[in-house]
Amino acid sequence: MELRQLEYFVAVADDLSFSKAAARLHVAQPSVSEQIKALEREFGLPLFNRTSRGVWLTPAGQDILPLAQELLADAHELRGLAQLSARRLSGRVRIGFLADEYANASGDRLMALVRRRHPRIAIEFHQVDFAEHHLALEGGQVDVAFVMGPVPSQFTSVEIARSPRLLAISRASLEEGGEGQLQAIVSRQAVVLPNHVMAHEWRRSWSPSDSPAGPVFIVGEDSMEAMLASVGARRGVAIVPEYVSRYYPQPGVAFVPLDGLVECTVEFAALRSRQDEPLFEALMELARESAATTHDA
């Protein structure tokens, strides 16, 4: 017995016509008749009554029909599972993150989608520092990463969320000038930046709007702790993502809102040079799907 024979049997039972069943199956009518007869020989009993008045199921055919339908449905599901398994990728992927991007609503949705579609992928999370998280992706320490925009041109990325930004300022400077004079204080301060940002469009995006091309203080060590230590030592101010105020509290540093400071994008990124590799192509497609779901919600 073949699945094709069961398929022909169910089609004839549905239409009560060999010609209609053949047309629906896109096969010749003699082929349908031949396969039904072969099935009847195997079962040792007729499945249809055939007369000049029409075709209808015998009692045996009526008994067999539900099981035949169930077997075909199971076969269809089995094919689908086999095709899905063939599309599932395996391997290891190292995902860079800054704080809690993979655990917030949008990041968690993306990670759940990755695990559901590709359960054989082993995910490793690697925390990277804000001051060097682009370098971690460029240098291959991670394969993909949650990054803060603007994203360098060598990355392909999908925006999955937005994050507020705050001004990191010395508490001593803030107390001396008062919060009412915040803009005036900032305009007189250098902007603290990690070393690699100097060659980046980040200098403009992560500087106060009043002084995008003003003086800068370059931190020799690419780390958030070094940046905030410089701020606390009154060497300048820094623009930081909101999470920094929660994960890097410093006694001498205040984190305050600043007029004109817009949100930054949080993006899921990979190197453009690897975007055509199956694993990375699949991950970025899932990121786009997840982001579309977020925007529609």
DSSP bridge partners of 158: 268
* pLDDT tens-digit readout, 62-89: 998 999 999 988 888 777 665 655 555 6
What average pLDDT is seen over the chain?
A: 85
Residues 157 and 269 sit within 8 Å (Cβ to Cβ): yes
* pLDDT tens-digit readout, 110-158: 999 988 888 888 899 999 988 788 888 888 899 999 999 888 888 999 9
Pair (253, 224) in one structural domain: yes
Pair (153, 169) in one structural domain: no
Pair (140, 276) in one structural domain: yes
Pair (105, 175) in one structural domain: no
Q: What is the mean pLDDT of residues 248-256?
A: 92
Tokens at residue 249, please? 């509290």
- The CATH number of residue 74's host domain is 1.10.10.10
Strand order in the sheet with 165-170: 238-241, 165-170, 253-256
Pair (199, 67) in one structural domain: no
> What's the number of domains the chain is made of?
3
Residues 160 and 287 sit within 8 Å (Cβ to Cβ): yes
Q: At which of 36, 67, 87 does a domain end?
A: 87
Pair (24, 82) in one structural domain: yes
Q: At which of 34, 56, 87 does a domain end?
A: 87
Pair (11, 78) in one structural domain: yes
Kindly report which listed range (185-189, 227-231, 267-271) carries the lowest average pLDDT score: 185-189
In this prediction, residue 87 carries a pLDDT of 58
* pLDDT tens-digit readout, 209-221: 655 455 677 666 6
Torsion from C-alpha of 102, 266, 252, 256, nearest 10 degrees: -120
Give the number of other Cβ atoms within 10 Å of residue 176's Cβ.
11
In this prediction, residue 188 carries a pLDDT of 82
Residues 60 and 44 sit within 8 Å (Cβ to Cβ): no
Pair (212, 253) in one structural domain: yes
What is the percentage of the chain residues whose pLDDT exceeds 90?
36
In this prediction, residue 266 carries a pLDDT of 93
Q: At which of 87, 113, 136 does a domain end?
A: 87
- The CATH number of residue 102's host domain is 3.40.190.10
Pair (153, 275) in one structural domain: yes
Pair (116, 254) in one structural domain: no
Pair (32, 173) in one structural domain: no
Range of the domain at 43: 3-87
Pair (120, 178) in one structural domain: no
Strands 165-170 and 253-256: antiparallel
Residues 6+ away with beta carbon under 8 Å from 135? 196, 222
In this prediction, residue 215 carries a pLDDT of 67
Q: What is the DSSP string of 154-170?
A: TEEEEEEEEE-EEEEEE
The span from the CA of 247 to the CA of 101, in Å, is 13
Q: What is the mean pLDDT of residues 161-173?
A: 91
What DSSP character marks residue 236?
-
